[in-house]
Chains A and B, each alone.
Chain A
Amino acid sequence: MKYILLMNGSKAGVNSYRAWSKNDIQAHFDFLKRLNKDLTESGELVANEGLGAPEQAKVVRAGNNGTPITDGIFPETKEFLLGYWMVDVDRPERAYEIAARLSSGPGPGGVPTNMSIEVRQIMTRRTEEVS
């Protein structure tokens, strides 16, 4: 079963991250690299991407004739998607374990960030007979 683990962050969180020391940032990168290596070796990693800075985000809607109307992120938006991990695991608890590990990544001074990770199951095209 596949799950996507969504790492969300607040504007304040993103701003404070930018002020981390070089060592703290390095430690965090090393942590993520290690995690991805472990998930590849365990045969569980499906995909992983980080997203561009929230300030660059655009909200798009269709205008007349379907032309895109772009807008910046609204000032009241508090949570942003920062990145995601897609994993293929044998049971839901394993997805939660991986999410907890993501959440334990080191922040300033090596203290875990304890960021909340949203865990969502990915739907399949598999089916059984319906009645």
Chain B
Amino acid sequence: MLSADTEHLLRELAPQVLGTVVRRFHDFASAEDAVQEALLAAALQWPREGVPDNPRGWLIQVAIRRMTDQVRSDVARRRREEAAASEMESVAIPAVELGASEEKDDTLILLFMCCHPSLSPSSAIALTLRAIGGLTTAEIASAFFVPEATMAQRISRAKQSIKASGVPFRLPSREQRSDLLRIVMHVLYLIFNEGYTSSSGEQIQRPELSKEAIRLTRMLHKSLLDEIEVAGLLALMLLTDARRNARTSSDGELIPLSRQDRTLWDRAEISEGVALVTSALAKGVIGPYQLQAAIAAVHDEAARSEDTDWPQILALYDLLKRMSDNPMVALNYAVAAAMVFGPAKGLALIEELASDGRLASHHRLDAARAHLEEMAGNFEAATRHYRIAANRTTSIPERDYLLAQAARLSEKQPQPSS
């Protein structure tokens, strides 16, 4: 059994080892397999024999040996001359110790590679978790509830696409970097959201994807301290994850923000997130992740729900709305407006959004409408919209929550005689 410390060490070292092996062999796909085998070998040997003095060197050595074995057997298969095989013997144990800056570069290059624009989001997520997160294929498969064979194929195809795209193992140019970085951040954000589930205790052990996303984003942040949107993304994750223990009851029921037991919020995550977003915003260039983090911070800093600074949240959503044409942002703006100016204002804004088309059949529109109708005392309309929203959501905990709201309200009203 691997201790938590050893597992942490292995997963920290995974991208560094991979970077070194890719630099040496210029073959990302095979190097990734070799490093995965080295990690497995360490997981078997280290608990028995103790962690070696130079764990990184150990992993690099095992991975390189796997690579040379591979190369050698390829060579043999192709019936090349003996000379070629003996040349491979000279691939020695690495003496290279990378400097701190190269190490950072390697993690970055690998992230850009795993989140390559040619990959679908689900492939990029799987490859990132394996190559950089150091998770095994079985762990990733269980996180996404698919068979291991299917996940193995997804990862191997992703590696083939990267190979086919011919992307070199080096940092992208300045011009390319911001576009690529946006994709990397999006992939990390998707991993975070994937881990945002309501657990009702019946679930088997699966990796905590939210924690993993935070770890990877922290890694990215350390490599790119000057990218303040990365700081914003890390802050957003921390400030959201801080509420995890308060978000669901012991039997898996969702608890809305306004009714959460705020003593259950993680203070350490909140202070770290607040510090990050405060210093990011002070730097002047504002991006959408920073704004979302700032909104989360305003919620997290309110001692009670009724202390929430809604005018501040409204102002932040207003900025966010100017920055992106995302109808979900406009919906959140409408809810914040209702909290500041009363439900009628929010409902009027939602009415406009309903004709937008992009949101028209989204359950969140109806859920927000139901919430505001309830605030306005229109229980019948609220019940109706809670039920429509319940019908439209694809999330079981949300459906149960919405149906419970509808049931609670319909008990308040006289039943229509049908």
Contact = CB atoms under 8 A, between A and B. Distances in A.
Interface of A: 1-2, 40-47, 88, 90, 121-131
Contacts of B399: 123
Contacts of A126: 193-194, 196-197, 395
Contact of B247 (A122, A123, A129): A129
B398 A130 contact: yes
Contact of B122 (A46, A90, A123): A90
The 8 residue pairs across chains A and B that have the minimum distance between CB atoms: A43-B154, A43-B153, A125-B197, A130-B256, A127-B397, A127-B395, A123-B396, A90-B120
Interface residues of B, number: 42
Interface string B127-158: 00000000000000000111101110111010
A44 B122 CA distance: 10
B371 interface: yes
Contacts of B335: 131
Given A90-B120, A121-B394, 8 more contacts: A2-B145, A43-B151, A44-B150, A124-B197, A127-B198, A130-B254, A130-B367, A130-B398
B172 interface: no
A95 to B, nearest CB: 13
Contacts of B146: 43, 46, 88
Nearest to A126: B197
A50 B368 CA distance: 42
A123 B154 CA distance: 22
Contacts of B368: 131
A41 B153 contact: yes
Contacts of B123: 43
B199 interface: yes
Contacts of A42: 153-154, 157
Nearest to A41: B153
Given A46-B145, A46-B150, A130 B120 contact: no
B257 interface: yes
Q: Which residue among A1, A42, A124 has the maximum number of chain B CB atoms within 10 Å of its CB? A: A124
